């Protein structure tokens, strides 16, 4: 900084790491994609030829799994912030297992939907079922990317690269996972 410059003349940034900004932009993009799907759902539903059906119980179980995984990754973050690395590792592993269980549950839910005569495409398909399959599939893809992110953070944690002075990766993973 030039000695003649005052503090107010210095360029002030966001104070966020570029990787955090990139993550927030990614999350915003995903929000827009889900908003588009939701808008399409609402518009198409009002056009008629819409079959109402009960959602399978397996989706409720999946919701419970994903909420528990959100709690476990938050616990991992808090543990890393306190340098309780063993607990952080354990919580990240729990989150990973719950995420995988969620994916398995999604696959099981597809079977439950078919058993209830709700199909994605074909002669027996209805737009209501197709929308549900698309939303579940996109969410499953979103979760797979989160699992990859989580695996990278777990690897970093296992090699003691995540701790109270290095929280960016686990902080970003936590933000993405909650989203």
**What secondary structure, in 3-state letters, does 138-168 show?**
HHHHHHHHHHHHHHHHHHHHHCCCCECCECH
Positions of the chain with pLDDT lower than 50, given as ranges: 1, 4-9
16-41 confidence digits (pLDDT tens): 888 998 999 999 999 999 899 889 88
123: left (phi over 0), alpha (psi -120 to 50) or beta: alpha
pLDDT of 12 reads 53
pLDDT of 5 reads 46
pLDDT of 13 reads 59
67-80 confidence digits (pLDDT tens): 999 999 999 999 99
């Amino acid at each position: 900084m030039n000695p003649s410059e005052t503090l107010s003349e210095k360029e002030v940034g966001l104070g966020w790491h570029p990787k955090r900004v990139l993550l927030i932009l990614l999350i915003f993009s995903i929000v827009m994609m889900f908003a588009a799907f939701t808008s399409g759902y609402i518009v198409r539903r009002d056009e008629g030829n819409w079959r109402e059906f009960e959602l399978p119980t397996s989706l409720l179980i999946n919701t419970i799994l994903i909420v528990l995984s959100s709690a476990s990754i938050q616990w991992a973050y808090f543990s890393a912030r306190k340098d309780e690395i063993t607990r952080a590792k354990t919580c990240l592993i729990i989150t990973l297992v719950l995420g995988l269980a969620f994916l398995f549950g999604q696959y099981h839910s597809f079977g439950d939907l078919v058993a209830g005569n709700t199909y994605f495409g074909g002669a027996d398909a209805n737009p209501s079922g197709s929308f549900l399959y698309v939303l579940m599939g996109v969410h499953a893809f979103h979760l797979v990317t989160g699992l990859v992110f989580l695996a990278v953070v777990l690897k970093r944690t296992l090699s003691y690269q995540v701790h109270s002075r290095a929280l960016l990766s686990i902080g970003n993973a936590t933000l993405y996972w909650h989203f």
